[in-house]
Chain A
Amino acid sequence: MNKLITIETRDLTKRFGNFTAVDAISFKVYEGEIFGFLGANGAGKTTAMRMLCGLLTPTSGQALVAGYDIYRQPNQLKAHIGYMSQKFSLYPNLTARENMTFYAGIYGMKRKEIGDKVHSLIKSLGVEKYSDMQVHNLPLGWKQKISFMTAIIHNPKIVFLDEPTGGVDPITRRQFWDMIYEAADRGITVFVTTHYMDEAEYCDRVSMMVDGAIAALDTPEALKTRYSVASMNDVFIQLARKANRSAV
């Protein structure tokens, strides 16, 4: 592969007291890639992701994200990433349009630019009729799509999605993944955590976290071949079974 590296970690570690949530993980993510970050609950996915976003300070190790050191240049880094948290992160009493406008605004986009962008996003999502409803009235699936749109509204180099499809139906999940592909086609690197193993199949490459460490990292095809199983689900079960840490 001759692609540019957008995320590179070296022995990235996070300890909370005696508990090592993330244990010296090292990996590379290439530009425009959809990188699946899998693991059981409590395996350390969210912690790792938060470090990469500059939300948590690593205990040791290094990471470069979009060319910036997460430890030394968190502020420059923040302008170039998008983040969709596990918790639902839109303001319920604002409309979809207002939410997008707000997030675009705090990334310092110009007013004209925001108007055009929001308009085109709403159009491409096909949510015109919902766009002026307050978000708390919308179905979960729509909220998550809008969340995703707000996370990439400022054209980040990388977007981090923390379990973006939790709790939504398969059709909406499929549509959500279409949006992810579209973003990746536009050159945005997608870093996504999930427990849905069918979603793992959609990723270009996946890493499997077990007990805070990366147990496997490859394309879904290669992983299935290596463990001689038919689906990512079986890969996951084989690897997760080795875990000592019980799910939290």
Chain B
Amino acid sequence: MRVLTAFIKKEFWHVLRDRRSLTILLGLPVMMILIFGFALSNEVKNSSVAILDFAGDDVSAQIIHRLNSSQYFDITHRLRRFDDLESLFRQNQVRLGLVFPANLQDDLIGDGEGAIQIIGNAVDPNTTNTTIQYVSAIVADYQKELWQTQEIPYQIDVSYRMLYNPQLESAYTFVPGVMTLILMLLGTMMTSVSIVREKEMGTMEVLLVSPMRPILVIISKAIPYLVLCFVDVLIILLLAYTVLEMPLRGNLLLLLLMCILFVLTTLTLGLLVSTLVESQQVAMFLSLVGFFMPALIFGGYLFPIENMPEILQVISNAVPTRWFYNILKNIMIKGLGFEYIIKEAIILSGMTFLFLVIALKKFKIRLM
């Protein structure tokens, strides 16, 4: 125990004196939360729209009016020919083109069914997709009103797939994703680098000559980062609750416990990395490319896992962030209790245990 305290104390000295790393450790979460909370949002305002109105009747006029009065669209061009629309797209002048076919009103009244066409500039697929949802929603709105005022149910054909969410209700839906990424990045990279640094400096040799047991070296390396990552969790939660006004759903204690579990997972992963490589650069590279990238791709916050090819879905099971992200969503956003995250918690504990066993096995007691 004395040995352990001596070692842990030394690790804290390292961490606290390395100002740059400390800045990253504590500054990154603040920065990420603020950026995700304020600078980045899925909301798309003032998209430029070109109108190609062959109908020129009441229905088209109504819809155009509604688009124009919404904050999401600017009707920048009114065109006569299809070719003009194409050249506008080429010059990247508009995001959407809206085509009202001739006789729209007649079709609507006569057949009870009319169609309008939305052409999107899919160079930025996500943004365009969002704006298309907005148009669809506005048209749907108009249609609903028509139903109320007219006796015959007219139908304007716009297919929309997602539930409409005009402005991503609140920025805090990002918090679980950001939190997962930060912990993954810091936990894995910082720990692996800190052990490999001892190898590089040659101090590992001296530690190996000492009677200190390898498990103690590993534990004492991990503890300061466990504390720091936990501080990060607290910072993120505090910012989320105060600055982003995230409602306090779910059990806070449960949330913190799960965070500790995940930090342990990332730390053991970092330890594992450090036993496999010899230089700090390689450790950083492996943490970033080998673990952070998959964490990003298969975590579920950027790309929905359900839409991935089956083989990738299988792979995503091995990515710890996926499970932690689920836990966070369930606790923080949905406010669910432990019974809904048992599976995830068990999987994460299992991974942690596995990483630890491999790391201990691989940790070389001797040099050769």
Contact = CB atoms under 8 A, between A and B. Distances in A.
Given A57-B366, A94-B10, A94-B13, A107 B208 contact: no
Interface residues of A, number: 38
A97 B13 CA distance: 12
Contact of A83 (B9, B14, B206): B206
A103 B14 CA distance: 15
A105 B7 CA distance: 7
A196 interface: no
Given A56-B366, A57-B368, A98 B13 contact: yes
Interface in A113-146: 134
B110 interface: no
A111 interface: yes
B1 to A, nearest CB: 10
Contact of B3 (A75, A81, A105): A105
Contacts, number: 91
A19 interface: no
Given A93-B13, A98-B10, A107-B210, A55 B202 contact: no
B203 A91 contact: yes
- Interface of chain B, main secondary structure: helix
A55 B366 CA distance: 5
B202 A78 contact: no
Interface in A134-182: 134
Contacts of A202: none
Interface in B172-227: 201-203, 205-212
B149 interface: no
B17 interface: yes
B257 interface: no
Interface residues of B, number: 26
Interface in B6-21: 6-7, 9-10, 13-14, 17-18
B161 interface: no
B10 A102 contact: yes
A89 B2 contact: no
A138 B32 CA distance: 39
A67 interface: no
A106 B203 contact: no
Contacts of B13: 93-94, 98
A191 to B, nearest CB: 13
Given A91-B14, A93-B13, A98-B10, A55 B205 contact: yes
B206 A85 contact: yes
Given A105-B2, A107-B211, A108-B211, A89 B203 contact: yes
Given A53-B209, A55-B205, A108-B3, A91 B368 contact: no
A89 B202 contact: yes
A79 B210 CA distance: 6
* B9, B10, B208, B211 pick with most chain A CB within 10 angstroms: B211
Query: Lowest 10 CB-CB distances: which A-B pairs, in order?
Result: A105-B6, A87-B202, A83-B209, A78-B211, A79-B211, A89-B206, A102-B10, A93-B17, A106-B212, A85-B205
Interface of A: 16, 50, 53-57, 74-75, 78-79, 81-94, 98, 101-111, 134
25 contacts: A54-B208, A55-B205, A55-B366, A75-B211, A78-B211, A82-B209, A83-B206, A85-B205, A87-B201, A89-B203, A91-B203, A92-B201, A93-B14, A93-B17, A94-B13, A98-B10, A98-B13, A102-B9, A105-B7, A106-B6, A106-B7, A106-B211, A106-B212, A108-B3, A110-B2
Given A93-B18, A106-B207, 13 more contacts: A57-B366, A78-B211, A79-B211, A83-B205, A85-B202, A85-B206, A89-B206, A94-B13, A94-B17, A102-B6, A105-B9, A105-B10, A106-B7
